[in-house]
Amino acid sequence: MLRIDGNSLILDDVIRVAREGERVALSDKALPGIKASREYVKELLEQKAVVYGITTGVGELSSHYIPPEKAIQLQENLIRSHAANVGEPLEEDTVRAMILLRANALAKGYSGVRVVLINTLLELLNKDIYPYIPCKGSVGASGDLSPLAHLALILTGQGECLKDGKRVPALTVLRAESTTPLQLQAKEGLALINGTQVMAAHGCLTLHDAYILIKHAQIAGAMSLEALKGTARAMDARIHAARPHPGQSLIAKNIRNLVADSAIMASHEHCDKVQDAYTLRCMPQVYGAVHDTLEYVKTVFETEINSATDNPLIFAEDKDVISGGNFHGEPLAFALDFLGIVLSEIANISERTVDRLVNPHVSGLPPFLAEGNGLNSGYMIAQYTAAALVSENKILAHPASVDSIPTSAGQEDHVSMGSISAEHARAILRNVVNVLAIEMLAATQGIDFQQPLDPGKGTKAAWTFIRKHISHWEEDRIMYLDIEKMADLIRSEKILRAVEKEGIEL
């Protein structure tokens, strides 16, 4: 059971709730702050104070005063009108992550909501209720207004949920799960929809997967190094100490450990070849930079998921309410664009390595890694697929955060477009999985051709595991089935686990 307090959430918590179904409760530590901010909202209503989103309209309509007796209707109208997303529904893990993150932000005690509102959000998680939230419509300005409004609708018994892949009225699902719909009170509708939780949910999930992917990239790269009879000299610790970026040294050490005791490497230790191509020689510099960027992105997201991002914020101790811009998605948009860029670079270097493996003019291996000299095409077209995916990534990696289309009659005149950055980063990641799958298939085939010489300690573990599930390419067969199977092995992390059993921690 995870207990949230608004301040202590980490990336691993998000993954456990989003993908493993861990149950969540509100920590008692959060209750005083939540209750105090709610009481202050009541005071403001009694005073008939002019407060944005409580006794005024929103956006360009903020100059319109709304009397306290219409505060509930304001919140109801707000979530109905703002629920305007379109497109395919967000995946269940994304929705679960965004619910957790919204609840955690409200638990900080600056939002003026009731405890029951947060507990009802957590009920959605704990009862596996899956709100239907179309994926497109946020510009990342006042946060993810529209998708969060779809979530807010569910709490009131409006909108829809997904049940067994079908859209079902939310009220039907809530009744079936004995969950009581809420009537939103003053400030609560606005508190639910002002925030960055869709961007943050996408980012946390993509970042977690990116960490797994860079580990597989190192395994694939080390296998390719051996298949191509490269040298580990460029991984020498002294080179990387002379340029002390932490990721660079880490990747070099990992490659050294993966190819340790390699008979393939030993067989050509004193050959005439002076140095390898950049795809092999510069793995520490490229993948190290990827690793360091992931660490930066993690810092941004672990800050964001413990932040108050709605507007206005209630400072009950000071008897103050301040309208600001914590909902603006720019920190996340930049980080998500950066994440998409570095994921694209993993695929870039991987595809070039595949090309090297299949090219008989540079590989020293049979043409296209095929048996039979012309009768079989081998991995010829698999490289085309990798090239197509890499090309698509180059388009997707264009930073969405450099765009801005003003909204709300110019009141919201600069937006982050962070939700688009988030969608692109996840799309890029899916492409990278398939590119790495192709490299692993090709590298495994290349190591086959080096037999009876064995690869290194870590690469042998990966090679042996892969060959238990995917056989040597002796003659042409249906290629996409092998690619799909390898991609599934990467996603399952089973190859990584096989390497780790040899005492190699990546």
Using an 8 Å Cβ cutoff, are 460 and 495 in contact?
no
- The span from the CA of 380 to the CA of 371, in Å, is 12
Cβ neighbourhood burial of 315 (10 Å; 0-12, 13-18, 19+): middle
β-pair type (134-136, 160-163): unpaired
Q: In 449-478, which ranges are continuous DSSP H helix? A: 457-469
% helix / strand / coil in the chain, to the nearest 5? 60, 5, 30
Phi-psi region of 136 (alpha: psi -120 to 50; beta: other; left: phi over 0): beta
- Return the SS3 of 169: strand
The radius of gyration of the chain's CA atoms, rounded to the nearest angstrom, is 26
Annotation marks residue 480 as catalytic:
no
**DSSP code of 159?**
S
Q: How far is CA 358 from CA 259, 264, 370, 409, 452, in A?
A: 21, 19, 9, 56, 21
Give the CA angle between residues 156, 161, 162 to the nearest 5°.
Answer: 170
Q: Which of 52, 65, 110, 480 is catalytic?
A: 52
Paired tokens of 287: 């993948």
In which element (H, E) is residue 320 found? strand 320-322
Using an 8 Å Cβ cutoff, are 36 and 138 in contact?
no
Q: How far is CA 49 from CA 58, 66, 77, in A?
A: 16, 10, 21
- The span from the CA of 259 to the CA of 316, in Å, is 59
- Return the SS3 of 88: strand
φ, ψ (nearest 5 deg) of residue 292: -65, -35
β-pair type (24-26, 2-4): parallel
User: Active-site positions?
Assistant: 52
